[in-house]
């Protein structure tokens, strides 16, 4: 099953199971979504539960917050994570804070789906990775699935959760295929990382699409350098399964974090701090970080390719942890 099909299946299953679940966003109905994730849902569920919205993110995210407070379970699709910046007030000041401000008397079971990432030559206003921004906000849950199975399982969990969830999908993953157990209706639990590859040489933590890049780098490390890397995919950033990461670092004594986002204040910066705070005595080298370039995403294809990490960058960073002993 493709990644986009797994997301579609999750929404279809949850909409069939619970009439309070509905979806809305720009072009999600007749056009079936910018990345065709909502294909067929309008025909199956009708305009009442599949709602095309005006081009006004602040407005329809606010509608989602209100609908969630009133007892519904909206799934709001934003065309790209960059456009979520237009709705930051609704996401941060409202969705993330209302349950706290009301002493848990009001819930906000809202899911906001956001595609992100480079690789399609869509320029700086459509291609950035902003998971670090949402990881920063208390009151939000943040998911970054990298496989079709995780996309389905985590989206089902997000829809059923009583907290607002920022659900981040990487644009280049939509066409990726992977095994999905459609007989298993149980959602994945937030806060449980996946060990994608076991090893004892170095721990590589890959965020979103970079989990895939980390696996390719691990194969090169094994074949070219005889280094067996352990690859961890956090799957969710809030809550974060730090225990699994620390357990791996205590075994390998080295760590490299790979993200497509910017370096300053990024997910990797946060993880590096947590690892050195809680596993310092186990480290044989400084924590390595591989990030996107500290620039707006270029439109030019060669420059765009140069602006985000590839497996060779991860290999270089991992090998460097052995030279720093």
Catalytic positions: 57, 126
For residue 34, what are the CA distances in angstroms to 47, 61, 75? 18, 17, 15
- State the Cα–Cα distance between residues 62 and 66, nearest whole angstrom: 6
Paired tokens of 167: 């659900």
- State the Cα–Cα distance between residues 46 and 29, nearest whole angstrom: 9
135: Cβ contacts below 8 Å, ≥ 6 apart: 142, 237, 238, 267, 270
- State the Cα–Cα distance between residues 129 and 139, nearest whole angstrom: 20
- State the Cα–Cα distance between residues 47 and 243, nearest whole angstrom: 44
DSSP string computed for 139-195: T-EEE---SHHHHHHHHHHHHH-SS-EEEEEEGGGTT-B----TT--PPPPTT--EE
Output the CA torsion 298→304→309→315 (10° steps).
-140
SS3 state of residue 138: coil
Q: How far is CA 72 from the centre of its chain?
A: 24
Paired tokens of 27: 């072009």
- State the Cα–Cα distance between residues 8 and 19, nearest whole angstrom: 16
- State the Cα–Cα distance between residues 310 and 315, nearest whole angstrom: 9
């Amino acid at each position: 099953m493709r990644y986009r099909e797994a997301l579609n299946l999750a929404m279809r299953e949850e909409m069939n199971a619970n009439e309070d679940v509905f979806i809305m966003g720009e072009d999600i109905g007749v056009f079936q979504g910018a990345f065709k994730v909502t294909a067929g849902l309008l025909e199956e569920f009708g305009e009442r539960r599949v709602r095309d919205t005006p081009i006004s993110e602040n407005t329809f995210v606010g509608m989602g917050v209100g609908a969630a407070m009133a007892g519904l379970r909206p799934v709001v699709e934003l065309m790209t994570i960059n456009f979520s910046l237009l709705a930051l007030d609704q996401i941060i000041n409202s969705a993330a804070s209302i349950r706290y401000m009301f002493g848990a008397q009001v819930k906000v079971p809202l899911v906001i789906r956001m595609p992100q990432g480079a690789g399609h030559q869509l320029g700086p206003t459509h291609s950035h990775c902003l998971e670090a921004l949402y990881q920063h906000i208390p009151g939000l849950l943040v998911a970054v699935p990298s496989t079709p199975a995780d996309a389905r399982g985590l989206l089902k969990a997000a829809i059923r959760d009583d907290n607002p969830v920022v659900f981040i999908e990487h644009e280049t993953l939509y066409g990726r295929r992977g095994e999905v157990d459609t007989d298993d209706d149980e959602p994945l639990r937030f806060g449980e990382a996946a060990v994608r590859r076991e090893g004892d040489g170095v721990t590589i933590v890959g965020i979103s699409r970079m989990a895939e890049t980390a696996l390719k780098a691990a194969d090169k490390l094994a074949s070219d350098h005889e280094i067996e890397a352990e690859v961890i995919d956090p799957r969710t950033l809030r809550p974060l399964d730090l225990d699994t990461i620390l357990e791996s670092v205590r075994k390998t004594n080295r760590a490299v974090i790979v993200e497509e986002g910017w370096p300053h204040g990024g997910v990797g910066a946060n993880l590096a701090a947590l690892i050195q705070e809680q596993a310092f005595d186990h480290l044989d080298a400084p924590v390595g970080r591989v990030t996107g370039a500290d620039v707006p995403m270029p439109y030019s294809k060669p420059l765009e390719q140069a602006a985000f990490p590839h497996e060779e960058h991860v290999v270089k960073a991992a090998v460097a942890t052995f030279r720093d002993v």
